[in-house]
Amino acid sequence: MKLNELTATKLIELLKNKKCSALEIIEDTFDEIEKKEPEIEAFITLTKEAAFENAKRVDKKIASGEKLGSLTGIPIAVKDNICTKDVRTTAASNMLENFVPTYNATVVEKLNAADAIMVGKANLDEFAMGSSCETSAFKRTKNPHNIEYVPGGSSGGSAAAVAANESVLALGSDTGGSVRLPASFCGVVGLRPTYGAVSRYGLLPLASSFDQIGPFGKTVADVELLFNVISGKDLKDSTTMNFKTKNNSDFDVKSLKIGVPEEYFGDFIEEEVKKSVLKMIEFFKHSGAQIKKVNVPHMEYMLPIYYVILTIEAASNLARYDGMCFGLRAKEFKDLEEMYANTREEGFGDEVKRRIILGTFLSSSESGSAYMQRAIAAKNELLRIYNELFESCDILITPTGSAQAFRLGEVCDPIKMYAMDLCTLAPSILGIPAISVPCGKGQNNLPIGTQLIGQRYCEQLLFEAGKFFEKNSL
């Protein structure tokens, strides 16, 4: 087995015991990238030269007995909407094709301090708008389990890189399910943290009230390790706060109260998915957990709530891309107004334009404020419902996606594509943590994920439940 096929926790153990070197890990990783990348297309930009230099630096630290970071020598892919100093950051858009930031995102600074080694910038749906990784301006990432299928989106490149062993860990961003859905489709673990648990400084924004940077790994323990590195208070992001996850070192599955929302198992859930998730629930039941059927009314309002708020915020956030200060500027125009119009026409893809137009309409029409007010009122009602659920349940279990990965080019209807996120929207709207854990495979060798949802800042309980499943379900 090559080193890049191992988990991060195992590699750290080998490095500390000097049974391998960081350089050997990076060599194996780039061997895999050179072999698979022409087919998978997980990366927009590779940072091979810098990765080898950093590996040599880490090996010198190990040899000299210096204090090591908690991710020493571990290869990591970073989604290409997260700013990296002196490394191109495109958001998979023609608008930013040649944009090179002069600063690092806070999460990247934390990775550097932990001695992680970035191997490249991962592909995504343009400006994180999509559920399949097909709206990128540069390439279409394929699912490593079957290259005729999508990896999910928008963080499809990050998930595919981990699944294909082109990286050991990865960072993505999750607005409505963009970490969890690709994790499910690609058979890896992906976490959407509590809103405010991880700094968004340096993340190119889509919808600021939903966006969160989240980790991918091969196991729950790997995701936990990466989360502990990137989380915490950041003075550059006022939404962050210091917090301590609840200590669950004495985790006892028999005291775990699991809610199973019946609305998440309706006819819109593919039968293979339903079967795998129910099997996981049965596992917890046989292990002694208390299983309780619960109800989450008003699920039909999830999509309207999310897309009203998201498109209004997206239209506002993307107004900065006008050709004036940075990014693309149209070459041909008669006046200032035409320069704006031509720049945005040439720079943005169809899905980005669609959401900007919808968001502009919702925020500028005569009844625009009413749309937002109703969306926020409905969001507050959902928050009340979920708070009541968590009075009697520790976690909720649902499918991560309503279906397995679909074929490239199969879903062309934007509404059908938006509906792919239906199972992942509640945690995004409410700002609560959720993790997708692989729970089986269906047709065409395609993975299926189960979503564990918790209360704010209860990531540790999700980790413990996920690790218990991984350890005992085989």
Among 21, 93, 131, 154, the active-site one is 154
Query: How far is it, in rounded angstroms, from Cα 338 to Cα 390?
Result: 53
Strand partners, 440: 448
For this structure, is 392 an active site residue?
no
pLDDT of 244 higher than 70: no
Predicted confidence at residue 248, as pLDDT, reads 55
Burial (CB count within 10 angstroms: exposed 0-12, middle 13-18, buried 19+), residue 412: exposed
pLDDT of 365 higher than 80: no
The overall pTM is greater than 0.85: yes
For this structure, is 79 an active site residue?
yes
Among 178, 184, 276, 436, the active-site one is 178
Helix 48-64 and helix 22-40: axis angle, to 10°?
A: 160
Predicted confidence at residue 458, as pLDDT, reads 96
Measured between alpha carbons, how far is residue 25 from residues 14, 39, 52, 248, 297 in Å? 11, 22, 10, 32, 49
Mind listing the pLDDT tens digit for each residue in 376-387?
Answer: 999 999 999 999
Mind listing the pLDDT tens digit for each residue in 67-77?
Answer: 999 999 999 99
Contact 130, 171 (CB under 8 A): no
Among 21, 36, 79, 436, the active-site one is 79
* 198 backbone dihedrals φ, ψ, rounded to 5°: -130, 135
For this structure, is 365 an active site residue?
no
Mind listing the pLDDT tens digit for each residue in 116-144?
Answer: 999 999 999 999 999 999 999 999 999 99
Domain parsing of the chain, residue ranges: 3-230
Predicted confidence at residue 130, as pLDDT, reads 97
Q: Which one has a higher pLDDT value, 249 or 354?
A: 354
Measured between alpha carbons, how far is residue 176 from residues 302, 310, 407, 409, 456 in Å? 10, 9, 21, 21, 17
Question: Taking the domain 3-230, which CATH number applies?
Answer: 3.90.1300.10
